[in-house]
């Protein structure tokens, strides 16, 4: 038995242990020279297969990149470390007799081979695209992403180098993470959250009430104001919302617009100008509308107003107003449809270009015992009711006569001079905001 063991030991003086492996290749019982021949043969036939998307494959061959071993000394050292008399130990601990031997290749040649792959031909590249949100049939739908086939060259090159050194024969580009994939897919949480948010926004239904008239705003319009950026952050275009509010303001605001007015003299006139009427607060209503959309509300509401008129409809003056016919120099005051008081007045001096302007105005406030001041006067009055800047209705006790054509040469600075009882009665029955209709 000793002779047999010794004989086998003599064999292993020139041969590798059983179970010896170099780069995963079985070289059991072979001489160093035989191993070199075997490894060289293995390298010559080496081909790295690249498994691409769509069932396509491409290859990189050993000769194209100058693949060779640079490890003759390592193989000899590997053999020298195996003591012939200890050959039996290799039968029980094979993993102790494995090495990875050095491999060389031309890196520039490898890069050229990679560049030549059809996968990098621009005509073959399909760019990856994120999932998108599409509005159709009154809802937002998800359109699936496009995975494409664009490869990250740096990642692929690194993975190929690793495979060559390990003598792997196949790389699956998909599982190796070599592809540039869409950042967002139809299953990404951010994408589905954006879809749900957009659908909540377009579920909004707002009915604006303008008396008998209605304006309905719903998803068919709101969707045109919505967008999601590249990171699927949902945005409401404030400029477009504001433009919508401005459009309804242009339709329903009445400040300065002409209206049909039935005068106390029995005539029907068209009168415009002044500051009386409905006026929507554009900025506030824009903010209110955005908040309503974000909440997905279904409501009937009036817009936010800067100021309101007495009623909606063809005439918003209502049945409480002051009427001043400046041609006849006469004033009427109606309250809830009933005539409270009327009388002659004196308006602005036309010869001095102090003409009282026509139009429909809002009474700004009323004040007792005020002092009216100008460049050349300071006049106390008992009842002061301004409706157009510094122009207002007030008592004029310094006058004994009113009406007629006094205003043409001896009129006021623009105010409506009234007899004391007329001014007093108006003052006691009028409120701020009451329309004052002035016309010639």
Q: Which residues are catalytic?
A: 394, 415
Strand segments (E) across 192-251: 205-210, 213-217, 226-228, 234-236
| Structural element, H or E, at residue 259 | strand 259-262
Rounded distance between C-alpha atoms, residue 196 and residue 403, angstroms: 70
Question: Which of 344, 331, 346, 330 shows the shortest CA–CA distance to 406?
Answer: 346
Question: Which of 150, 152, 106, 151 shows the shortest CA–CA distance to 127?
Answer: 150
Burial class (CB in 10 A: 0-12, 13-18, 19+), 424: middle
Tokens 């100021």 belong to residue:
307
| Structural element, H or E, at residue 134 | strand 132-136
Rounded distance between C-alpha atoms, residue 75 and residue 35, angstroms: 8
The pair of structure tokens assigned to 98 is: 């494995």
Rounded distance between C-alpha atoms, residue 3 and residue 17, angstroms: 19
Question: Which of 122, 108, 89 shows the shortest CA–CA distance to 19?
Answer: 89
Q: Quick one: DSSP state of residue 69?
A: E
Report phi then psi at 333, rounded to 5. Answer: -125, 115
66: left (phi over 0), alpha (psi -120 to 50) or beta: left
Rounded distance between C-alpha atoms, residue 54 and residue 361, angstroms: 77
């Amino acid at each position: 038995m000793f002779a047999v063991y010794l004989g086998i030991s003599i064999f292993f003086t020139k041969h590798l242990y059983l179970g010896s492996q170099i780069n995963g290749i079985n070289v059991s019982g072979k001489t160093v020279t035989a191993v070199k021949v075997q490894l060289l043969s293995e390298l010559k036939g080496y081909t790295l297969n690249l498994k691409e998307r769509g069932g396509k494959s491409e290859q990189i061959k050993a000769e194209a990149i100058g693949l060779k071993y640079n490890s003759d000394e390592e193989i000899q050292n590997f053999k020298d470390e195996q003591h012939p008399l200890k050959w039996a130990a290799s039968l029980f601990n094979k993993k102790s007799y494995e090495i990875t031997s050095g491999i060389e290749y031309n890196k520039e040649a490898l890069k050229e081979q990679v560049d030549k792959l059809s996968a990098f031909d621009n005509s073959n590249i399909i760019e990856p695209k994120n999932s998108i949100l599409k509005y159709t049939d009154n809802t937002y739908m998800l359109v699936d992403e496009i995975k494409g086939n664009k490869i990250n060259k740096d990642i692929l090159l690194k993975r190929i180098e690793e495979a060559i050194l390990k003598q792997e024969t196949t790389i699956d580009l998909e599982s190796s993470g070599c592809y540039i994939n869409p950042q967002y897919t139809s299953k990404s949480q951010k994408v589905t959250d954006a879809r749900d948010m957009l659908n909540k926004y377009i579920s909004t239904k707002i009915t604006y009430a303008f008396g008998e008239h209605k304006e309905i705003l719903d998803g068919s319009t709101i969707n045109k104001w919505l967008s999601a950026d590249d990171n699927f952050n949902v945005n409401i275009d404030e400029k477009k919302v504001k433009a919508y509010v401005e459009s309804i303001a242009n339709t329903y605001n009445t400040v300065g617009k002409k209206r049909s007015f039935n005068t106390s003299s029995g005539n029907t006139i068209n009168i415009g100008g002044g500051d009386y009427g409905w006026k929507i607060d554009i900025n506030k209503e824009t903010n209110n509308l955005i908040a309503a959309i974000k909440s997905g509300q279904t409501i009937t509401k009036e817009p936010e107003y800067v100021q309101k008129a007495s009623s909606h409809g063809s005439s918003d003056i209502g049945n409480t107003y002051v009427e001043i016919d400046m041609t006849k120099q006469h004033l009427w005051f109606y309250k809830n449809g009933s005539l409270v008081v009327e009388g002659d007045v004196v308006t602005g001096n036309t010869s001095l270009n102090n003409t009282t302007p026509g139009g429909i105005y809002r009474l700004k406030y009323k004040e007792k015992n005020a002092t009216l001041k100008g460049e050349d006067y300071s006049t106390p009055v008992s009842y002061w009711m301004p409706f157009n800047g510094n122009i207002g209705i007030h008592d004029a006790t310094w006058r004994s006569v009113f009406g007629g054509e006094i205003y043409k040469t001896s009129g006021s600075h623009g105010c409506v001079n009234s007899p004391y009882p007329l001014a007093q009665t108006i003052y006691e029955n009028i409120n701020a905001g009451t329309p004052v209709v002035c016309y010639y």
